[in-house]
Amino acid sequence: MVNNNKKIYKFFKKHSGIKQRIEFFDVDFEKSWYLIFFKKPFQFSLVIVSETLQSVFGSLSPLILGLSLSQLNYQYLLLYVVVYFVLEIINRISLYYFATAFSSIQGSLLNACYTYFLTVDPIYHSTKSTGTIQSKIEATGRQLSFTIDILLFSLIDIVVGYFTVVVALGAFSNQLALIGIGSFLAISLASFYGHVVITKVFMPFWIIYRDKIRAIATENLFQNSFIRASFSTTEQISKTIKYEKIGFEARSIMVLSRSILTFVTRLLITGSVVWMVIVMIELISQNKIDSTLAIALLLTYMAGTRQITRVGQTVANFSEGVEDMNDLWDYIRTFGKQTYPVIDKDVYEK
C-alpha cells in the first residue's frame, strides 16, 4: 500500500510541473503585509475571475432550470449543462495556478520570518520568548491560508452571488429587487461592522494569552530538567492552567458575542424571505408571474440569502486573520535590528 502511494505521488510530482512554478521571493516587513499578494497578480486575477463566474452561474442555476420547466424549453437545460462544464474546466485551471501561487507566498513568508529571527542581533533575543516567536509565526502561517481562502472562495462568492440574485429578481419585478437590495445592505452592514468591532475588542486579549501559553509550554520543554530539579513542576503547571483559563475565556466571550450577532442577522434574513413571499403572492394574484416562476425566483433568492448567513462567520474569520497578520508585522518591526552581516547575502549587499 505504501509503495503504491509513493508511485502515485511520484507520478503526479513528475507530470504536474508544480515544482518549477513555486518561486520564493523576499518579503519586506516595512511594507504592508497584503502587498505580498501582488507578487502573483496573474494567478490571483485568474482565480478571482473564475470564482466570480462560478458564483454568478451558481446563483442563477435555480432560475435557469425553473425557466426550462415553466416554458418546457430544453434550450435552457442545454445552456445549463454547457456553461457548467466550461466553467468547471476554467476553475480547474485557475486552481492549479492558485496552488502554486499560494505555496510561493506561504513559503516566502515563513522563510522571511525564520531568516529575520536568525539574523537579528542576538541581544534582542535575550529579552524575548522563543515560544512567543513560534506562536506568532505558526498563527500567521495558519491565518494566511484561512485569509486567502476566505477572500477568494467565500467573500467573492457571497457578494457576487447575492447581487446576481438581485439583478435576476429585478428582471421580473423592481419591488423584489428593492427588497433584495435593502436586505443585503442591512444584513451585511450589521454583520460586517459587528464582527469587526468584536474582533478588534476581544482578539488582542486572545493573542496575548495564546502567545503566553505557547511561551510557557516551550519553556517547560526546554528547561524540563531545571524545573524538576528546583521542584517547581506544580508551579509551572498552575501557571499554564492560569493562562489557559484567561486566554480561552477571552476566546469564548468572542465566540458568544458572534453567536448573538449571527442570531440577529438570521432574524433579518427570515423577515426578508417572508416579505418576499408576500410580494410574490400579490404578483401571482395579479397574473404578473406564474407560480412555477415564483418558486424558481424564491429558490434563487433563498440560495442567495443562504450565502448571506455565512457573511458573519466569514467576516469574523477574515478579520481574525487580518488581526494576526498585523500582529506579526508589528512584532517584527519592533523586535530589533541587524547591525552586522550574518549570511552571504548580507556580506554581498554590504
pLDDT tens sequence across 134-154: 777 777 777 777 778 777 777
What is the structure's pLDDT at 96?
A: 85
User: What pLDDT, in 10s, does the model give residues 169-227?
Assistant: 787 778 888 887 888 778 777 777 777 787 778 777 777 877 777 777 676 665 555 44
Nearest Cα to Cα of residue 288 among 175, 173, 176: 173
Q: Return d(Cα 63, Cα 10) in angstroms, integer.
A: 45
User: Crossing angle for the helix pair 233-285 and 174-222, nearest 10 degrees?
Assistant: 170
Confirm whether 185 is domain-assigned: yes
**Does residue 346 belong to any structural domain of this protein?**
no
Query: Is 82 among the domain residues?
Result: no
Q: How many domains does the chain have?
A: 1
Q: CATH number for the domain including 289?
A: 1.20.1560.10
Task: Give the gyration radius of the chain's Cα atoms.
Answer: 26
Tell me if 130 sits within 8 A of 318, measured CB to CB: no
pLDDT at site 266:
80
Full domain range(s) for residue 133: 105-335
Q: Is residue 61 part of a domain?
A: no
The model's pLDDT over 231-243, given as tens digits with 9 standing for 90+, comes to 445 666 777 777 7
pLDDT of residue 2: 53
In contact, 105 and 144? CB cutoff 8 Å: yes
343 falls within a domain: no
38, 110, 185 from 33: Cα distances, Å: 10, 13, 29
**What are 157-171's pLDDT values in tens digits?**
777 777 777 787 787
Alpha helices in the chain (DSSP H): 2-16, 18-21, 41-70, 74-119, 130-150, 156-170, 174-222, 224-229, 233-285, 291-308, 311-335, 344-349
At position 6, the amino acid (one-letter code) is K
* pLDDT tens-place string over residues 93-134: 888 888 888 888 888 888 888 888 888 888 877 777 777 777
Q: What is the pLDDT of residues 261-270, one digit of tens each?
A: 778 888 888 8
Grid cell of 39 as nine digits: 507578487
CA atoms of 44 and 34, how far apart (whole Å):
13
Q: Check whether 86 has a pLDDT greater than 50.
A: yes
Residue-averaged pLDDT of the chain:
77
Model pLDDT, residue 231? 43
Better-predicted residue by pLDDT, 314 or 230: 314
pLDDT at 255 over 80: no
311 assigned to some structural domain? yes
Q: Residue 165: CB partners within 8 Å, gap ≥ 6?
A: 59, 180, 300, 301, 303, 304
294 part of a folded domain: yes
Residue 2 belongs to some domain of the structure: no
